[in-house]
Structure 1
Amino acid sequence: MELNNVYIELCDKETEETLSKPDASFLSKPITYLKEHQNEFLYIESPSFETFKTDSLSLEVDDVFKTYMVLLGLKVQKKHASTIKSFLNENLHGGEIKNFSAMFSGDEGLWDLNIPIDMMEGFQETTIEETLSITSNFMTKLLSALEQNN
């Protein structure tokens, strides 16, 4: 995935305070950075994310399940609830517990999605950039499923 005009913040999970604003080269770091700094999350904005109907996303390690998570706001209508939830259930692989959440926010008119990246097809603990690519592919497939069911 080619990211254009990327904006990055490393933030404290508890306070959401910005700890630093690294440049795009930070994305070549190993994704394990987040396991080594579990009190932090990575916030990323890029116009490139528009391809899967979001402006930004966050990456973090879940405090309970210790899985890598992507959190984003998906700009699609509420009527897509069953397709979104079915897609997540069918396309996340792994244990019995699929620790995702998908809730529609009427105020913002978008879906708040928390998805375990560990359960996405092809995920390996490589770079942050590669993790973003896996996430992008997954979201593109989700949007394709939404179009097919429309």
Structure 2
Amino acid sequence: MELIDVYIELCDKETEETLSEQNAEFLNKPISYLKQHQNEFLYIESPTFETIKAESLSLELDDVFKTYMVLFGLKVQKKHASTIKTYLNENLHGSEIKNFSAMFSGEDGLWDLNIPIDLMEGFQENMMIEEVLSITINFVSNLLNAIEQNNEN
């Protein structure tokens, strides 16, 4: 899936200040960039994310677990809690601790999700950021399909 009208910021984790704006070429860098710059996170906006009911995605390396994480707000109702948590438990692979979080924000009316990309099927640390975004979008699309199927039952 190609990202359209992509907007990218490199930000400082501690202050959340924008360090620099990047163009789409930045997506051709390896995801390991975040391991080499652990004080930074990547903030990405694209209308493409509307297909997965999100406005933006942030990518970072978790300080504690040293796993690559994607953070975003998912625009689905609170009532889908069990489907979301079941999907994450069943579809994140690996023997590591499944260090995801899924919390509903009543204030924003969306789910604040924090998911380890390392545990998504197909992830490899030598991938380019664009490839990581692609498997992330696919993972979230499958989550939305699970919610839809559960809703029909």
Fold match (TM-score > 0.5):
yes
- The one-character-per-residue Cα deviations of 1:15-38 (angstroms, maximum 9, x if unpaired) are 000000010000000100000000
Q: Which runs of 4+ in 1 moved over 6 A?
A: none
Distance in 1 between the 2:58 and 2:67 partners?
A: 14
CA deviations over 1:30-86 (Å, ceiling 9, x no partner): 100000000000000000000100000100000000000000000000000000000
Aligned: 1:76 with 2:72: no
Matches within 5 A, 1:27-106: 27-106=27-106
1:89–1:40 Cα change, 3 Å: same
Shift of residue 96, structure 1, vs aligned partner: 4.5
The match for 1:149 is: 150
Any gaps of 5 or more consecutive residues in structure 1?
none
The residue type equivalent to 2:137 in the other structure is S
1:120 alignment partner in structure 2: 120
Q: Secondary structure at the match of 2:9?
A: strand
* 2:2 match: secondary structure: coil
Describe the SS at the equivalent of 1:44. strand
Q: Once the 2 structures are TM-superposed, how far is the Cα of residue 95 of structure 1 from its aligned partner?
A: 1.9
Q: How many residues align?
A: 150
CA–CA distance in 1 between the matches of 2:80 and 2:93?
A: 22
Q: What is aligned with 2:15?
A: 15
Which moves more between the two structures, 89-98 or 27-36? 89-98
- Name the residue aligned to 2:6: 6
Counterparts of 2:92 and 2:70, CA distance in 1? 13
Structure 2 unaligned regions, length at least 5:
none
Alpha-carbon separation, structure 1, partners of 2:135 and 2:124? 9
Equivalent AA in structure 2 for residue 40 of structure 1: E
If the length of structure 2 is used for normalisation, what is the TM-score?
0.97
User: How much does 1:113 deviate?
Assistant: 0.1
Amino acid at match of 1:133: S
Q: What secondary structure is seen at the aligned counterpart in 2 of 1:148?
A: helix
User: Partners in 2 of 1:39 and 1:128 — Cα distance?
Assistant: 17
What do you get for the CA RMSD once the two structures are aligned?
A: 0.5
